[in-house]
Chain A
Amino acid sequence: MTTLDLTPAPGAAPLPRMVLAQAGAEIKSTLRNGEQLLLTLIIPVLLLVGFSTTSLVNIGRGSRVAFIAPGVIALAVMSTAFTGQAIATGFERRYGVLKRLGASPLSRSGLMLAKTLAVIAVEVVQVVVIGAVALALGWRPAGSPLAALVLILLGTAAFSGLGLLMAGTLRAEATLAGANLVYLVLLGCGGVIFPLTAFPAAVEPVLRLLPISALTGGLRSVLTDGAALPLGAVAILAAWAAVSLALASRTFRWE
Chain B
Amino acid sequence: MESPAVEIIDLVKRYGRTTAIDGLTLAAGRGAVTAILGPNGAGKTSTIEICEGFRRPDGGTVRVLGLPPTRPELRARVGVMLQAGGVPPAARCGEWLRLMSRFHARPLDPAALLERLGMTEHARTPYRRLSGGQQQRVSLAAAVIGRPELVFLDEPTAGLDPQARHACWDLVADLRTAGVSVVLTTHHMDEAERLSDHVVIIDHGGVVAEGTPSALTGAERQLRFRARPGLSLDELLAALPSGSTAKESPSGHYIVEGQVGPELLATVTTWCAAEGVTAADLSIERRTLEDVFLELTGRELR
Contact = CB atoms under 8 A, between A and B. Distances in A.
Nearest to B109: A4
Interface stretch (A12-20, A145-153, A177-185): A12-20
B223 interface: no
A92 B78 CA distance: 22
A29 B75 contact: no
Given A33-B90, A92-B88, A2 B112 contact: yes
A100 B87 contact: yes
Contact of A103 (B75, B85, B115): B75
A105 B103 contact: yes
Interface in A71-113: 91-92, 95-97, 99-100, 102-107
A57 interface: no
Contact of A7 (B82, B102, B105, B179): B179
B53 interface: yes
Nearest to B175: A6
A255 interface: yes
Instruction: Give the interface size bracket for B toward A.
Output: 35 or more
Interface in A112-157: none
Contacts of B280: none
A1 interface: yes
Contacts of B256: none
Given A6-B108, A9-B106, A18-B103, A32 B85 contact: no
B76 A11 contact: yes
Contact of B106 (A4, A11, A18, A28): A11
A9 B178 CA distance: 11
Nearest to A88: B88
Instruction: Give the interface size bracket for A toward B.
Output: 35 or more
A18 B103 CA distance: 5
B149 A10 contact: yes
B106 A1 contact: no
B174 A21 contact: no
A104 B86 contact: no
Contact of A8 (B53, B84, B148): B148
Interface of A: 1-2, 4-13, 17-18, 21-22, 25, 28-29, 32-33, 91-92, 95-97, 99-100, 102-107, 255
Interface of B: 52-54, 72, 75-78, 80, 82, 84-91, 95, 99-100, 102-106, 108-109, 112-113, 115-116, 142, 144, 146-149, 174-175, 177-180
9 contacts: A2-B115, A4-B108, A5-B178, A7-B178, A25-B99, A100-B142, A102-B54, A104-B100, A105-B76
Top 3 nearest A-B pairs by Cβ distance? Answer: A11-B105, A96-B85, A100-B86
